[in-house]
Structure 1
Amino acid sequence: MNQTYTFKKTQNNFDFIRFIAAVGVLFSHSYDLQNKDSLEPLRNLTANHLSFSFYGVRIFFIISGFLILKSALNSSSFVNYLTKRALRIFPGLCIALLISVFLFGLSVTRLPILDYLTQPQTYAYLLNLSLYHSQQGLPGVFDTVNNSPIVNGSLWTLVYEFTFYLLLYFALRLKLLRTSFVLLITFCLLIVLDLKLQNTDIINNYYPSLNMSPGPFIEFSIYFMAGMLFQYYQDRFPITKNLGSTAVVLFIASNLFLDFPYSRVINYLLLPYVVFYLSFIKGSLNNFGKYGDFSYGIYIYSFPLQQILLQLLPEISVALFAFLSLIVVSPFAYFSWFIVEKPMIRLKSRKTIIYENPISLPV
């Protein structure tokens, strides 16, 4: 029998999949930080086009689009919605930045401690909390590891995530998404735009005032919108074992054997389906979240901790480096969830309904 899966909040694997996505980012960074990025298994199989971190980040955006749309529709006001979103991102990030400056940085800086503490750059690093400001380095920190002064190479995606939160709310409020069909058309047009811009310099332009570039903005928005579309059509979108298994096979085959731009389009269309197919399989992983949601903590702490580890063990093998990185980051992820993130989430308002029928699903 071809079983059809249902979308139930209490029966999904989102927490487990996000955990795997965060570990995938950590795994790829284990190669990047040792200048062995071309040896990363997925990069090796796909002519250096794809990686575990590539998929990890995009999975975050897909699941986020699905969940954040529901959050927007169930918020009583913009302040209520923004408060919920801010409580999810900023407390954990704030503590991570403070730990990076006053624990990690202070421990490994090449400068005398007093010099480090009196440098304006030390405290300017905390401005990364705004998301729209970027300072990648700290004085004398990690500038001899991989010849890279970047303290935390994972934080750059957070500004896109938060920007999508804002744009989603105002799109709903201004009734720009009167029907899900409008979103579907926008989704398709952005895919076309993304493909058209791939051979231009526009996608690589960096705008410091926004801390964003057009290429990642367009690409991440497509995956975020894919999650939103699944939220809109959740009651009528077929997710079955046969379709899911076929999607997984086609997805893997397209990335191994198809060149750009075909593989890129396949990713846009099939990766979201594969993610939700795996998300709604019933089983013991549905309860993974009862142990905690450690994905954010792994994501925001792993990069600086990996660099410290590499500074201590410069000749370490990649496999051992990845394994020890996960071991080392686990207490920080645990701390982030139970001491910082979870208490903040409890402060979220439970009020519902922001608009009367803001979106009409097609019949």
Structure 2
Amino acid sequence: MHRLKELDVLRGFAALNVMLYHYTTRYFEIFQIQNQPKFEWYFGHHGVELFFMISGFVIFMSLQNVKNIKEFILKRAIRLYPAYWICILITLFISAVYSIPRSNDFSSFQILMNFTMIQGIFEIPNIDGVYWSLLPELFFYFLMGTLYYLNFLKNIKIIAIIWLIWMILNKSGLFPFGEYFLNLKYGMFFLAGIFFYNLKFKKGAIVDHLIVLSCLFTAIYVNGETYNLIIYPVWFATFYLFIGGKLSYFNWAPLLFLGSISYPLYLLHQNIGYALITYLYTYFPNYFIVILSTSLMMFLLAWLVIKYLENPLSLFLKHKFLSNLNLSEKSKITTDLNHFSHKNALEKSR
């Protein structure tokens, strides 16, 4: 299946939303800075929910195109962990060189646990605050992988209804079990992504629309902030535009670039960004200039991570661990490796 550029645009938009929230709102809340700029982007606080919807769509799509559970696990691990490990090392290095505000003095055990991505289960602090959202992703991957292995994905509609009812009962206090491990706070966004996939590629019936709308109302009920009455319908409407082919107008090079660096940008931007804002403000006492400069530097850092670290490492891991794929996929991986090596050789010869 060809790559959906609109999803890259949405990823970039979600990452930018979260980053702007942290830089224009959260930074000033954390450090109790009085001369807060007049502009802020509180709505970016909900960019993570858009990420979850994208994940629901992509994971369900991936499960339609894998041969077995081992392939699914390896592909997800290679997609998530290399960039994550690299970003942890960069954050730790910068934390050691510069004084990052509110950074914890992590023990060796806590650092090692952070490399697993499951540190939240054991209430071990995250090296960077944004890592919290990776655990709901892992829980969702585990659930979907289990359903795939048991051949239960054909019953996804029944599973969705049971899951949504469980979320509502849990929020109501009538069935207060499993909130953490069953994603009862954010599972409706993953579910919505699944049924948007059905609507786009499987000519979903009216029941798929009804489940999507149920996901929206459940999200508003379970996560009852006033802003959610605005933001959540916007995210769902955006996905309806996507499945209707209306987001292709936004396939612009800058937005696609932002989507291509969205994962490391998300992982790197918070603590390092706070340090940059604090440092730059001592020389340029204008928060608009400082936030703009910090954002541009984070774009550059994320791009460097993708180009020179994450891409070659991921290609190596794919070649090593996914060698039993079908020949066309294996040929593509080998071609990518050869292209990467040839491109690097050309750049060094200049």
Question: TM-score by structure 1 length?
Answer: 0.67
Task: Provide closer, same or farther for how the CA distance between residues 103 and 219 of structure 1 changes in structure 2, counting only shifts above 3 A.
Answer: same
CA apart distance, 1:155: 0.9
The one of 135, 155, 162 equivalent to 1:179 is 155
1:72-123 CA-partner distances (Å, limit 9, x unpaired):
232222221111101111111111111122233233379xxxxx9xx87256
CA apart distance, 1:302: 0.3
Tell me what 2:66 maps to.
Answer: 75
Tell me what 2:263 maps to.
Answer: 296
The one of 164, 181, 185 equivalent to 2:140 is 164
Tell me the secondary structure at the aligned position of residue 153 of structure 2: coil
Tell me what 2:15 maps to.
Answer: 22
CA apart distance, 1:266: 8.0
Q: Is the 8 A contact 1:21 1:53 kept in 2?
A: no
The root-mean-square deviation of aligned C-alpha atoms, in Å, is 4.1
- Rounded to whole Å, the distance in 1 between the matches of 2:227 and 2:21 is 20
Pairing 1:185-200 to 2, within 5 Å after superposition: 185-193=161-169, 195-197=171-173
Tell me what 1:308 maps to.
Answer: 275
- Rounded to whole Å, the distance in 1 between the matches of 2:169 and 2:230 is 15
Q: Which runs of 5+ in 2 are unaligned?
A: 327-350
Tell me what 1:221 maps to.
Answer: 187
Tell me what 1:100 maps to.
Answer: 91
Aligned residues: 292
Q: Which runs of 5+ in 1 are unaligned?
A: 1-7, 44-50, 111-115, 138-150, 204-211, 353-363
Q: Is the 8 A contact 1:61 1:223 kept in 2?
A: yes
CA apart distance, 1:186: 3.1
Question: TM-score by structure 2 length?
Answer: 0.69
Q: Is the 8 A contact 1:294 1:334 kept in 2?
A: yes
Q: Is the 8 A contact 2:82 2:314 kept in 1?
A: no
CA apart distance, 1:290: 6.8
Q: Which moved more, 1:332-341 or 1:120-129?
A: 120-129
Task: Provide closer, same or farther for how the CA distance between residues 263 and 319 of structure 1 changes in structure 2, counting only shifts above 3 A.
Answer: closer
Q: Is the 8 A contact 1:12 1:286 kept in 2?
A: no
- Rounded to whole Å, the distance in 1 between the matches of 2:232 and 2:166 is 11
Q: Confirm or deny that 1:60 pairs with 2:51.
A: yes
User: Which AA in structure 2 matches 1:308?
Assistant: A
Task: Provide closer, same or farther for how the CA distance between residues 320 and 122 of structure 1 changes in structure 2, counting only shifts above 3 A.
Answer: farther
Structure with greater helix share of residues: 2
CA apart distance, 1:314: 5.0
Tell me what 1:285 maps to.
Answer: 251
CA apart distance, 1:284: 5.6
Q: Percent identity?
A: 19
User: Which AA in structure 2 matches 1:21?
Assistant: A
Tell me what 2:27 maps to.
Answer: 33
User: Which AA in structure 1 matches 2:267?
Assistant: I
Structure with more relative contact order (C-alpha pairs < 8 Å, separation 6 or more): 1
Q: Is the 8 A contact 1:62 1:224 kept in 2?
A: yes
